[in-house]
Amino acid sequence: MLFYDQFLLNIDRGYNRGNWFFDVNFQLRAFDFTQILGGIEQWNCFTLQHLKDNPPKLVESMDDIEYQYLADKIDSSRTCFLDIQRKLTNIDFNHYVQSIPPTWDITSDDKQAVVDFWNFRSCILMI
C-alpha cells in the first residue's frame, strides 16, 4: 500500500484512518481511492502534465503515523519492492483506461494523458 499510494499520489490515506484495515486473515485491505493524482478532483491532460512537470518527491501524508506503522513492518531484507517494480513495468495501463465507462465523459486525449502519466510515474519510481 505504501508503494501504490505513492505511485498514485494518493493524498488521503495517511490522514484518513478509516480507509484501510486488516481482514480476519491479517491481510491489508485498502479502499477509497478518490484522492489519487494529488487530490485533483477532475483531472485532464493539462492537470496531469502539470503533475509531470512538478512531481512531488513524496506524498505529504506519508509521514503520518499510519504509514510509519506500515513501514516499520517491512522486512528490508526481502525483495518486495523489486518484485513490485518488475510487475509495474509489465502493466498495460491502457487496459485500465479502456474500462472507464463512457458515461464519465472522459476524452480520448485525457485517457491517453493518464496512461502517459502512469508510465511516467512508473519510470520515476524505478530510479
The per-residue pLDDT for range 74-125, each reduced to its tens digit, is: 655 445 555 666 666 667 888 888 888 999 888 999 999 989 988 888 776 6
CA 111 to chain centre: 16
Residue found by looking up cell 517491512 in the block? 74
Predicted TM-score of the model (pTM): 0.64
Output helix, strand, coil percentages for the chain, rounded to the nearest 5. 55, 5, 40
Is there a contact between 67 and 14 (Cβ–Cβ < 8 Å)? yes
Per residue in 15-66, pLDDT tens? 666 677 778 888 777 777 777 787 777 888 898 888 888 877 666 666 666 6
Burial class (CB in 10 A: 0-12, 13-18, 19+), 8: middle
